[in-house]
Structure formats: structure tokens, C-alpha cells
Structure 1
């Protein structure tokens, strides 16, 4: 069993919530608290959420995390 880790990021819009909801529906779990940061170059707030998922595959660097 391998535990995979992803950090999902997006501007602070509904798109971020949909991205997290989609990952949860595919079996990913929230890992820690979400984070927010102001992107001064673009003038927008950015959100991030760490996610984990246990899978029955061996980890390799070319593994497509979003496809798991």
C-alpha cells in the first residue's frame, strides 16, 4: 500500500471548492487545514489544500496522481 500526497491550489473561487470536492469523490482525503495566501502579482487570493490517498500501486515519479 502506498500513500500518495497532492497539494491542490486554485484562485479563491468556486473552482477551488469544485477541485477539492472532485478529489474527495475520487477517494482522496483532506490532510491538514486549508491555506490562503494573497498573490500580489495577480491581485488575487489563492487557496491550497493538501490531500492524501492510499492506493495499491507502487510509487514511481511518473505516476499521474490525479488519475489515481
Structure 2
């Protein structure tokens, strides 16, 4: 199966660490990162899509994508 995740976080080093962790676990970047202002928190938010090909796993909604 091909898994997809959208990683989001405030625009801090925590976002970079989240993406770096996913890359170290075999996920690949998918598209460009996005940035948007969150008016509720008065902070910039970041988003990055990642994908991963997972052999031997069939997709169901119960799959814990963060554990792949």
C-alpha cells in the first residue's frame, strides 16, 4: 500500500524535527511545504505531505499511519 500523511506543526524547530523523523523512518516528501497564519493562535503553521510504500500491509481506516 502507499501511505499518505500530512504533518503539521507551529513554525518552530518542532516542525523540522517532525519531518526529519518521518524521513528517517522511510517516508518521502510529497510536494512542497505550506505555511499559513493561524489567527486563533496568532502563529504561523507549517504543513508537509509525506508518502511511504509499505509492502505486506493492506490499507484499512484502522491503520496507524504514524507507526508505519
Q: TM-score, normalised by structure 1?
A: 0.97
The residue correspondences of 1:47-62 to structure 2 (distance < 5 A) are 47-56=46-55, 57-62=57-62
Q: What RMSD over aligned residues (CA atoms) do the two structures have, in Å?
A: 0.3
CA distance in 2, matches of 1:49, 1:61: 21
Unpaired runs of at least 5, structure 2: none
**Aligned residue-pair number:** 67
Following TM superposition, the consecutive aligned residue runs of length 4 or more in structure 1 with deviations greater than 6 angstroms are none
Q: TM-score, normalised by structure 2?
A: 0.97
**Deviation, structure 1 residue 19:** 0.1
